[in-house]
């Protein structure tokens, strides 16, 4: 298992947002996390990425205990994410958004940076090439020098995925990647997600409300309701699970 | 005409020092949304360090300057770690009050330590003047302008092209997202404080070498003007701080030359108020959103 979540929970004041939650993601797997609004899905993402520290339980990633580690450390270890409401660095250029994600692997010092000599030249040239190639995968090469905030919505979503990949993750968390997309954009997104998995050799865990996407590309699903796991298994099983149906329809 | 040229050069020289200090205000505001009221006192601190290294320790000028700037930069980072970092996430007004507290603390500690030597006089860094086309310019003014411009260009390059600059821009825009992209926010904030304080320290060295008299409370008046320069240019916007600093210096200097020394500040502040009425978020500021 690449990611193993053991009995994690978090309490905000008196509210138990997530409790006794278990899940796992294998190498090269696409896993979905679904559930009604307010079920605690994004809270799980925040726990996995260190935005929140679980009040109970353990998170093991790549054989390391990452429970309570700092956000940037967890990212350096190989978990990257996108956001439900896009959080690009909007006043930076498209390419700088991607380059900043590569920062952790850059070794030159600031003196070399300011005066542009030595390692800086070599590393920045390589970085520029890498960043352009990455943007190309997402059809964003032509907009490299534009301000990220000026991109249309769909491209901003793609750039968020590109930026997350720039950090060199082993596990990519996508928080409602299809939100606000029309059916044809969603279909394109599915292709991108598959491509990302194969090309970048990452496992993917995604939160999504669009059932066509979830059923189509996820190999396994976890279903959250009121902060607890109510079902897990392959999409076909989940579709017919009575608990899941009643959670969604509110029976 | 000569008066005009003299006052312009003087204004650009003073303005470049304002700009150096304004940069620290604006960078720190951009990255942690804090008006660091103790920033102006770094000018005073570096002046006293310089005085001690020169007069008490007898160090040569270059070494004394280097040490003063390095120590003041370190002090900026230490203040951030001890006083501001524990309050990250607290309401902004609390951090603001803390900053005012740090400012008062620094002023009084220095007043107490240097009570025998208050105000203190500084040895001359550069004496004399050079003559360009019949206009005589003091060497220290030339040095001030040169050093300031070089530092501003260097800072702009750092922010635009290096990984640290990219990290700073990312953190200033969304520190949460930046951390999730693997950026160490604490290190980036510390670096911002060190750079901002070092710039103020250089300003202090230049200021002390120009006026040759320092006192523990000199930072608040000078810092206030630099802060206003940052607001005038658009707080959080780096080129804004530079432009704001130069405008402040030139207007102040012209007012002193043509109207009266006593009313110079009144004129400067009146112009500022008028500008801010028409451009409430500063000359380069946008009204919609805040950013570096």
Task: Work out the end-to-end distance of chain A between its first and last CA atoms, rounded to an integer number of angstroms.
Answer: 35
Give the pLDDT band (50/70/90) at residue B206.
very high
Which residues of A lie closer than 8 Å to B, measured between beta carbons?
A: 49, 51, 70-72, 75-76, 80-81, 83, 87-92, 96, 99-101, 103-104, 106, 108, 110, 113-114, 116, 120, 124, 163-164, 166-167
Show the domains of chain B with their CATH numbers. Answer: 2-278 (1.10.3470)
Residues 23-42 of B with CB under 8 A from A: none
Task: Please answer whether residues A164 and B181 qualify as being in contact, where contact means their C-beta atoms are separated by less than 8 angstroms.
Answer: yes
Specify whether A177 is located in the same domain as A157.
no
Among the candidates A104, A133, A168, a domain finishes at A168
Angle at A182 between CA A179 and CA A186, to 5 degrees: 70
- Tens of pLDDT along A38-59? 899 999 999 999 999 999 999 9
Question: How confident is the model at residue B139, as a pLDDT?
Answer: 92
> Does an H or E element contain A135, and which?
helix A119-137
Tell me, yes or no, whether A158 lies in a domain: yes
Question: How confident is the model at residue A164, as a pLDDT?
Answer: 97
Q: What are phi and psi of B290, to 5 degrees?
A: -105, 140
User: Residues A81-89: what's their mean pLDDT?
Assistant: 95
Token pair 């920033």 is at which residue? B39
User: Residues B253-270: what's their mean pLDDT?
Assistant: 89
Tell me, yes or no, whether A217 lies in a domain: yes
- Tens of pLDDT along B130-182? 888 778 889 999 999 999 999 999 999 999 989 999 999 999 999 999 999 99
- Nearest CA distance, B55 vs chain A (angstrom): 32
Specify whether A28 is located in the same domain as A136.
no
Question: How confident is the model at residue B287, as a pLDDT?
Answer: 62
Interchain contact B78–A (C-beta under 8 A) = no
Among the candidates A168, A203, A231, a domain finishes at A168
User: Residues A77-106: what's their mean pLDDT?
Assistant: 94
Specify whether A179 is located in the same domain as A248.
yes
Question: How confident is the model at residue B288, as a pLDDT?
Answer: 56
Name A172's Cβ contacts closer than 8 Å, sequence gap at least 6: A80, A81, A82, A161, A164, A165, A196, A200, A202, A203, A204, A205
Cis ω before B119 (30° cut-off from 0):
yes
Tell me how far apart the alpha carbons of residues B9 and B15 are, in angstroms, rounded to a whole number: 9
Give the HSE-up count for residue A60: Cα atoms under 13 Å, Cβ half-sphere: 10
**Cα torsion angle, A68, A71, A74, A79, sign:** positive
Specify whether A72 is located in the same domain as A173.
yes
- Tens of pLDDT along B222-256? 999 999 999 999 998 999 999 999 999 999 999 99
Domain with A37, as residue range(s), is: 1-78+169-251
Tell me, yes or no, whether A83 lies in a domain: no
Give SS3 for A108. Answer: coil
Question: How confident is the model at residue B135, as a pLDDT?
Answer: 82
* Subunit contact A91:B157, Cβ cutoff 8 A: no
Residue A122 has pLDDT above 90, yes or no: no
Tell me, yes or no, whether A13 lies in a domain: yes
Tell me, yes or no, whether A187 lies in a domain: yes
Specify whether A137 is located in the same domain as A250.
no
CATH code where residue A250 lies: 3.40.50.300
Specify whether A109 is located in the same domain as A3.
no
- Residues in chain B with CB shorter than 8 Å from the CB of A110 are 158, 162, 164
Tell me how far apart the alpha carbons of residues B285 and B185 are, in angstroms, rounded to a whole number: 25
Give the pLDDT band (50/70/90) at residue A156.
very high
Specify whether A177 is located in the same domain as A74.
yes
- Nearest CA distance, B63 vs chain A (angstrom): 20
Name A69's Cβ contacts closer than 8 Å, sequence gap at least 6: A50, A77
| More reliable by pLDDT, A116 or A251 | A116
Specify whether A72 is located in the same domain as A189.
yes
- Tens of pLDDT along A18-38? 999 999 999 999 999 999 988
Task: Work out the end-to-end distance of chain B between its first and last CA atoms, rounded to an integer number of angstroms.
Answer: 39
Tell me how far apart the alpha carbons of residues B246 and B142 are, in angstroms, rounded to a whole number: 15
Specify whether A161 is located in the same domain as A188.
no
Specify whether A127 is located in the same domain as A195.
no
Give the pLDDT band (50/70/90) at residue A113.
confident
Residue A71 has pLDDT above 90, yes or no: yes
Q: What is the ipTM of this complex?
A: 0.89
- Tens of pLDDT along B66-121? 999 999 999 999 999 999 999 988 898 999 999 999 999 999 999 999 987 778 88
The pTM assigned to this predicted structure is: 0.90
Tell me, yes or no, whether A235 lies in a domain: yes
Specify whether A229 is located in the same domain as A176.
yes
Specify whether A19 is located in the same domain as A69.
yes
Name the closest residue on chain A to residue B156, using Cα atoms: A114
- Tens of pLDDT along B14-73? 999 999 999 999 999 999 999 999 999 999 999 999 999 999 899 999 999 999 999 999
Task: Please answer whether residues A203 and A3 qualify as being in contact, where contact means their C-beta atoms are separated by less than 8 angstroms.
Answer: yes
Interchain contact B157–A (C-beta under 8 A) = yes
Give SS3 for A218. Answer: coil
DSSP string, B82-129: IIIGGGTTS-HHHHHHHHHHHHHHHHHHHHHHTGGGSSEE---SS-SE
- Nearest CA distance, A21 vs chain B (angstrom): 22
Among the candidates A168, A203, A233, a domain finishes at A168
Task: Please answer whether residues A171 and A203 qualify as being in contact, where contact means their C-beta atoms are separated by less than 8 angstroms.
Answer: yes
How much is the mean pLDDT over chain A?
92
Tell me, yes or no, whether A193 lies in a domain: yes
Question: How confident is the model at residue B289, as a pLDDT?
Answer: 52
Percent of chain A past pLDDT 90, that is, above it, reads 78
Tell me, yes or no, whether A84 lies in a domain: no
Task: Please answer whether residues B149 and B12 qualify as being in contact, where contact means their C-beta atoms are separated by less than 8 angstroms.
Answer: no
Domain total for chain A? Answer: 2
Question: How confident is the model at residue B244, as a pLDDT?
Answer: 95
- Residues in chain B with CB shorter than 8 Å from the CB of A100 are 163, 166-167, 169-170, 178, 181, 183
Task: Please answer whether residues B275 and B224 qualify as being in contact, where contact means their C-beta atoms are separated by less than 8 angstroms.
Answer: no
Task: Please answer whether residues A208 and A196 qualify as being in contact, where contact means their C-beta atoms are separated by less than 8 angstroms.
Answer: no
CA neighbor of B158 nearest in space, from A130, A116, A126: A116
Name the closest residue on chain B to residue A119, using Cα atoms: B162
- Residues forming beta bridges with residue B130, ordered by sequence position: B137
């Amino acid at each position: 298992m690449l990611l193993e979540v053991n009995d994690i929970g978090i309490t905000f004041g008196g509210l138990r947002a997530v409790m006794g939650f278990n899940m796992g993601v294998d190498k090269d797997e696409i896993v979905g996390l679904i559930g009604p609004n307010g079920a605690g899905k994004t809270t799980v993402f925040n726990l996995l990425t260190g935005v929140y520290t679980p009040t109970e339980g353990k998170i093991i990633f790549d054989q390391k205990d990452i429970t309570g580690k700092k956000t940037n450390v967890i990212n350096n270890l190989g978990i990257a994410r996108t956001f439900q409401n896009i959080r690009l660095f909007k006043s930076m250029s498209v390419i700088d958004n991607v380059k900043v994600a590569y920062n952790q692997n850059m070794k030159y010092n600031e003196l070399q940076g300011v005066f542009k000599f030595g390692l800086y030249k070599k590393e920045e040239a390589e970085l520029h090439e890498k960043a352009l190639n990455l943007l190309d995968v997402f059809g964003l090469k032509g907009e490299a020098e534009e301000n990220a905030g000026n991109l249309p919505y769909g491209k901003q979503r793609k750039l968020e995925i590109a930026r997350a990949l720039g950090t060199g993750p082993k596990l990519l968390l996508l928080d409602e990647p299809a939100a606000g997309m029309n059916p044809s954009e969603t279909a394109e997104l599915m292709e991108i997600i598959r491509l990302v998995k194969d090309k970048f050799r990452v496992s993917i865990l995604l939160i999504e409300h669009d059932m066509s996407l979830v059923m189509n590309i996820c190999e396994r699903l976890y279903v959250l309701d009121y902060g607890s796991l109510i079902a897990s298994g392959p999409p076909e099983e989940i579709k017919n699970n009575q608990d899941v149906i009643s959670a969604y329809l509110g029976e | 005409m000569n008066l005009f040229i003299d006052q312009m050069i003087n204004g650009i020289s003073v303005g470049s020092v304002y700009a150096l200090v304004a940069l620290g205000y604006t960078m720190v505001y951009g990255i942690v949304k804090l008006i660091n009221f103790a920033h102006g006192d770094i000018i005073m601190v570096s002046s006293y360090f310089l005085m001690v290294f020169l007069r008490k320790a007898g160090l040569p000028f270059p070494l004394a300057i280097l040490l003063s700037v390095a120590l003041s930069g370190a002090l900026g980072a230490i203040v951030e770690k001890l006083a501001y970092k524990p309050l990250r996430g607290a309401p902004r007004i609390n951090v603001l009050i803390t900053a005012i507290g740090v400012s008062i603390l620094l002023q009084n500690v220095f007043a107490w330590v240097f009570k025998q030597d208050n105000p203190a006089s500084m040895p001359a860094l550069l004496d004399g003047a050079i003559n360009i086309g019949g206009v005589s310019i003091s060497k220290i003014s030339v040095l001030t302008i040169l050093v300031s411009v070089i530092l501003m260009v260097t800072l702009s390059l750092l922010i635009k092209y290096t990984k640290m600059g990219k990290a700073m821009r990312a953190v200033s825009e969304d520190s949460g997202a930046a951390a999730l992209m693997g950026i160490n926010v604490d290190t980036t904030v510390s670096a911002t404080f060190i750079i901002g304080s070092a710039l103020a320290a250089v300003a202090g060295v230049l200021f002390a070498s120009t006026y040759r008299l320092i006192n523990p409370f000199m930072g608040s008046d000078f810092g206030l003007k630099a802060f206003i320069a940052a607001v005038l240019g658009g707080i959080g916007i780096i080129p804004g701080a530079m432009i704001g600093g130069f405008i402040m210096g030139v207007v102040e200097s012209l007012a002193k030359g043509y109207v009266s020394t006593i009313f110079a500040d009144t004129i400067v502040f009146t112009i500022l108020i008028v500008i801010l009425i028409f451009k409430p978020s500063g000359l380069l500021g946008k009204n919609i959103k805040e950013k570096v």
